[in-house]
Structure 1
């Protein structure tokens, strides 16, 4: 928010110096980013009129001007392209010193004497425009000191406002905070209703419910739209960072900057009526003021004329109904739009307007009529005209209504750690515009309609703290010791997981939780994706449903920068839609990816690319930290290589996937290397059974080796499950020590050699016991998998 210091002082007549005012604004949370002094050194600069201008005899780009200073005619040599007879412009007389230390002296330029300098706005330090002389209005009094005529000296203040302080996007709103902090009173604001002098009107209608609960409009006939903008208004706009355009446009901008209420002016003769507000329909469009054509959908709120779209509500007016210097009849509008109906709409069209900036944060719902009356008075004073009655449509049930907030005296003291006098509390709240009533244990305060940010007791406590002075709040450390919480033994902590993966040569990656929706679609993981209502960009528009897409993208960026061996992991949350009106479901996951050589380059081990079983080993070692034994079952997943993908289970619960990326996906992602990765649910992976002490069996164990022939597609995990189920509790361990295909084994089959470690807790196993167990295992393998003992 940028504004003129003199403009603010008109609303709050504080005696604070410029430096004190800037320090006060920052101290109360309205951070001053920059203060730019204007016109501090303009003694000797007057309003002058060029009587005549002729070409310099020795220079094509110079003119010799005869200039009336109000005290006589002087000769000035000027190189400005807009210097011409009849123009009124600032003249720095001989002896003046301009900002920057430029001293004005009599001089001879190419043989012609010059007694002063006609000035641009930049040379005077009042505006960065250096394209030509600063053109003054035709009624500017010749000979008058320029600083008096332009209301100088002044300064431009630029504030960095937080999103919750929407009320401070108008000079009037800032004045309330300054008044509360400096002990002044805000000057009364004159916006008396302007009586209608004609019956000219346009009916207004509301068809958008809570999105647009108030709309005001007024017709003013016979306006001289070509009338110049008053110099005081033009200067305030210029010092607020807005270049004056034309009177009607400038008035709407001026009212927005002063009150915080965006407005728009239509050429009445381009409207048929009624004027309405509704949601856009699919396929509708409108040409905007800047000439671009906007394609609309039902997410947009539009202003209509006889159901024809003529403007984007809260964003920008339409090109076909704009005001020009030929406009004679104008229709002014001021409305209240809900922030949720405006947020993000401008970004979708590549627009960022002052109106949208305010409506997105919230505008006082009581301002539209006040703004209409104020703008009417400004237009009548500068351009004449005949006003009609104000037409207003309102849906009172949808207008926000401030509710009283109880501020407890004891709570205030407890949160601030200090006592604030009752009289000071009441003064601050009333100075900020709140209605205050005493309560049994404190105060009941009702915020003004402009303060959307005041809703709970803590909001009022913050107001007291920032106005009373944050520096007055004691810096007292809390007493007592923080309770120590012992880590749970039933879960492996995430720090241990990070350390373990780092020890296996992985680097941790931290990616955004939102990704490009097109990327999820490429992976086939867009089902249940949650789109963001207000994304930072199109590439970050959707909450991620999996970690692997973002992690592989990070791997790809590293591989594209000549990193041959990349190993990354990430712990993070994924999101999925949970039904209409419900918050998205959130789940913690762990994922890892790898590409390039299996081991770092060295001379002692032959180089080979990382593969499926390398990551399986890493995953098994990670599971072992939690005492888990993982099971792998062949699976088919759209993004995975059809023959190198497995679902991962623990105790019958599916945790996720371990797979190599599908070649088609690798090509779509522009990856030149094979990528292997896994993604698992974090909570069931890290669950750790509590250790139980148990004595070692004093009876010996027995090992029996068994070789069976099974069909090639049968996985070892299924064979092991059958063995454990058949052997029962005497099976202490099961080891696969050989896998063979070749001579002696039929094609399409494989030989698996396993060792069964058998032991009983209560007795020594006999040969009969062992033979019976082996027979049960053999029968189970034959029954479950068609296995046969290898001869």
Structure 2
């Protein structure tokens, strides 16, 4: 809901500024969504009177005027507005004025006629989108006064976002009541006098379903003059609340809606036939709405009808056939209470959501109908004249909402909010909220017996009253008493990777964790690590468990052999743990290192009719290693170099480096050990130094590019002795700032490729976070890569 701050201060004017008022409303549950000025930033605009107005001699659509702004001389101003006329009070931007958008007014000539200023429209002053004509001011506007002062344009528009339970604040009256409570300020009472009845015209009203509509008021006003415009003060209040001025009748009903929070509707009385009936729609009954759409009304929808037809959707939208037009002479005003249950969701069935339905769905004060009727009648008679008939009331009191009494216990209030309250302060809060309060003493405690006002549908239980006391007292005024607890910082740093997380990763990858002894068979260990400095146990369990392991591989391979002999052919195992070696410089002469290792044997999957058998190979083992290194953010920094190791096949062994540091080995177990170790077929393994890869790079936020990525493909021929991994790494290091991805997607040898060479197909992805890359920049980058490969790897573009 939007409203003007100055309008609110007509009701209650606490000594707080706009920002503090906004903070108060938000903290009280009426969240302020925005604050904006009611007009643009301008200066030098005065109230003037058009003294002369005649056609421009050289332009059909322009007029030449003389305007009095209270100075010694009249101002010559050329104007193109169709509503400019002699005697009109207008807003005049004099020479030197600055309009919104820093538009400065200077002396000028328009088609040969001098123009020393400008007559302004609403849009030119930043007061709306209406640029159809100049701003027309009341006839009693003081000439020469600054328009900002006259229209109070230093005002602010405050927009609040209300929760569904606070329908009582969907009007200035309700918001003012809240502000008064929060600041302990008195709220002005709106003086609404009963309108004198000067006509006998009336219509009988029948309530066919009193549960849906227990109260309906109607009044006929005769001989109205709808050519009369709404006063400027009303138009301005409506505009600042986000509602466009239409005509006097619509403006008055909208004004009452904003002022009191009560919807109203007006019918053309001459178009009505017989009595007014509030009923549910008949089967397949149709209605043309005010917006011109024809709908078929559902039988569960409440309508306002006359003796022949439905006139309007009750509490939602009026009908076109009975609507007030400029030719209307007599009107019928309605003011009703509709049950929220009868209106809830009905508008959305027809694709409608109106200001009226928004309020009726949440609940309108059932005691406000007469006040709203008198207020609207008073305003209409002042603006359009006419004679008011008597107010006809149809009511079923038993169906009106009843607010039950609720008991608020001081002990419960203190226990829930955690602080003690002064009894008089609580009583004052409840009274200012409009509640009827009776204070009852019970020993050292107090109880408040409270009856909520008719407009507070959300007050039903004791906790509702506690919430009211808390929000009005101020959540910020309730002292913070944090629970006491002692916290200890963990010894594990954020950079350190959890070994358990890596174990879970390997299990998801299909490996099984094995736990083997730390002492192994010295003969089998010597096969794999003949040069290792081993530790011999002085009192071994047995001869084949007499030496401490220098690697996890002997134990894992023994476990693998044990399972292979029992027909477990497709098996992958991993283990983590300490390995031991003799080192005189270490503590107690023993060097202990944490390792992570894995072994792979058999096929990549069990036998299946839809899956071809494939034996595990070097790259299956390498994929697992890369996943482990990816956890430590070392994947991009890892390199694999051909190496010799006593435990691995001479041609299928790679040393693994991260940032130039050797962290482990990967490869196929040497064929000469397979039979001696009890292995069947090819077996692959890896072993990593866990202490060297357990640290990771902490993640850092980077900008996400909103510009397109560009792909360029290169096919290069190089010597088949060139290691592709080194080639790719070298491209990443030549300083291409926009490189986001580099991928090898094809390796080819054969026809068309020289013997001893291979063709590598690379995809290069480029993307900038600052702009869309141009063709020249992309080509320069590709040329840079080609030159680099040519100079460092003797590569050539493939024809």
Give the TM bin, normalised by the shorter chain. 0.5 to 0.7
Offset of 1:126 from its aligned partner? 2.2
CA deviation map 1:404-460 (0-9, x unaligned): 211111111111111221122112111111111102322112111011111111111
TM-fit CA distance, 1:111: 5.2
Distance 1:49 1:14 in 2: 41
Please tell me whether the aligned partners of residues 202 and 390 of structure 2 are also in contact (alpha carbons under 8 angstroms): yes
Q: CA deviation at 1:170?
A: 0.6
Aligned counterpart, 2:137:
136
Preserved contact between residue 405 and residue 445 of structure 1 (Cα < 8 Å): yes
Structure 1 residues 353 and 436: CA distance shift in structure 2, 3 A: same
| Aligned 1:203-602 pairs, distance under 5 A | 203-440=204-441, 441-477=446-482
C-alpha contact 2:171 2:260 (8 A) present in aligned 1: yes
Whether the aligned pair in 2 keeps the contact of 1:150 and 1:231 (CA below 8 Å) is no
Contact in 2 for aligned 1:48/1:70 (Cα 8 Å): no
Alignment partners' CA distance in 1, 2:264 and 2:356: 8
Query: Where does residue 17 of structure 1 map in the other structure?
Result: 17
Report the counterpart of residue 76 of structure 1 in structure 2: 77
* C-alpha separation in 1, matches of 2:142 and 2:131: 23
**CA distance, structure 1, for counterparts of residue 325 and residue 426 of structure 2:** 51
Shift of 1:84: 5.3
Q: 1:84 to 1:476 in 2, by over 3 A?
A: same
Any idea what the Cα deviations from partners look like across 1:102-136, whole Å, max 9, x if unmatched?
44333445654321122121222322334442233
Give the conservation status (yes or no) of the 8 Å contact 1:167–1:260: yes
CA contact (8 A) 1:47 1:146 kept: no
For the residue of structure 1 that corresponds to 2:305, the secondary structure is strand
Residues 50 and 478 of structure 1: is their aligned pair in 2 closer, same or farther, counting only changes over 3 Å?
Answer: farther
Structure-1 separation of matches of 2:352 and 2:96: 48
Question: Which aligned segments of 4 or more residues in structure 1 are displaced greater than 6 angstroms?
Answer: 502-505, 601-606
Structure 2 gap segments, 5+ residues each: 487-503, 511-603, 612-799
CA gap 1:194/1:20 in 2 versus in 1, 3 angstroms: same
| 8 Å contact from structure 2 (residues 46, 144) kept in 1 | no
Alpha-carbon deviation of 1:354?
0.5
Preserved CA contact (<8 Å) 1:198 1:386: yes
Are 2:204 and 2:392, in contact at CA under 8 Å, matched by a contact in 1?
A: yes
In structure 2, the CA distance between the partners of 1:25 and 1:99, relative to structure 1 (3 Å rule), is farther
Residues 316 and 14 of structure 1, relative CA distance in 2, 3 Å threshold: same
**For the residues of structure 2 that align with 1:464 and 1:373, how far apart are their CA atoms?**
34
RMSD: 2.9
Which residue of structure 1 aligns with residue 118 of structure 2? 117
Instruction: Quote how far apart the aligned CAs of 1:209 are.
Output: 2.5
TM-score (normalizing by structure 1): 0.59
How many residues were matched structurally?
Answer: 495
Distance 2:508 2:369 in 1: 64
CA distance 1:109–1:286, shift in 2 (3 Å): same
Deviation at 1:69, TM superposition (A): 2.7
Q: Matches of 1:604 and 1:2 in 2, distance apart?
A: 71
SS at match of 1:194: coil
| Deviates most, 259-268 or 14-23 | 14-23
Tell whether the 8 Å contact from 1:404 to 1:447 is kept in structure 2 after alignment: yes
Change in Cα spacing, 1:101 to 1:199, as seen in structure 2 (3 Å) is: same
| TM superposition shift of 1:351 | 1.0
Residue 35 (structure 1) aligned with residue 35 (structure 2) = yes
Q: Which has the higher mean CA deviation after the structures are superposed, 133-142 or 426-435?
A: 133-142
Contact 2:165 2:458 in 1 (8 A): yes
**8 Å contact from structure 1 (residues 214, 393) kept in 2:** yes
SS of 1:227's equivalent in the other structure is coil
Q: CA separation in 2, counterparts of 1:607 and 1:171?
A: 74
Pair 479,454 (structure 1): closer, same or farther in 2 beyond 3 Å? farther
Structure 1 residues 291 and 63: CA distance shift in structure 2, 3 A: same
**1:602 to partner: Cα distance:** 10
**Do the aligned partners of 1:50 and 1:88 also contact (CA within 8 Å) in 2?**
no
Per the alignment, do residues 281 and 190 of structure 1 end up closer, same or farther by CA in structure 2, a change over 3 Å counting?
Answer: same
Inter-CA distance 99–343: structure 2 relative to 1 (3 Å threshold): same
> Structure 1 residues 416 and 97, CA, compared in 2 at 3 Å: closer, same or farther?
same
- Secondary structure, aligned partner of 2:380: helix
Aligned-residue offset at 1:396 = 0.8
Preserved CA contact (<8 Å) 1:53 1:66 = no
Tell me, yes or no, if the aligned pair for 2:214 and 2:395 is still in contact at 8 Å. yes
Counterpart in the other structure of 1:96: 97
Answer yes or no: is the 8 Å Cα contact 2:273–2:308 preserved in 1: no
Post-superposition CA distance 1:292-335 (Å, at most 9, x none) = 11101211000011152111101111111111122221110010
Q: What whole-Å deviation, never above 9, does each CA across 1:640-684 have from its counterpart, x for those lacking one?
A: xxxxxxxxxxxxxxxxxxxxxxxxxxxxxxxxxxxxxxxxxxxxx
Structure 2: how far apart are the matches of 1:248 and 1:318? 15
* Offset, 1:280: 0.6
On the 8 A contact 1:64/1:77 being kept in 2, the answer is yes
Q: Distance in 1 between matches of 2:84 and 2:210?
A: 55
Structure 2: distance between partners of 1:53 and 1:300? 57
> Cα–Cα, structure 1 residues 108 and 404, in superposed 2: closer, same or farther, change >3 Å?
same
State whether residues 42 and 146 of structure 1, in contact with CA within 8 Å, keep that contact through their aligned partners in structure 2: no
CA distance in 1, matches of 2:318, 2:456: 27
**Partner SS state of residue 94, structure 1:** strand
**In 1, Cα distance between equivalents of 2:223 and 2:233:** 24
Aligned residue number for residue 67 of structure 2: 67
In structure 2, how many angstroms separate the alpha carbons of the residues matched to 1:274 and 1:36?
Answer: 47
Q: CA deviation at 1:38?
A: 2.5
Bigger Cα Rg: 2
Further displaced range: 439-448 or 4-13: 439-448
Which deviates the most, 453-462 or 187-196?
187-196
TM-superposed CA distance for 1:48, in Å, is 3.4
CA contact (8 A) 1:290 1:319 kept: yes
Q: Which moved more, 1:142-151 or 1:444-453?
A: 142-151
What runs of 5+ residues in structure 1 fail to find an aligned partner? 482-498, 506-600, 609-791
- Name the SS for the 2:244 alignment partner: coil
Give the superposition deviation at 1:208. Answer: 1.3
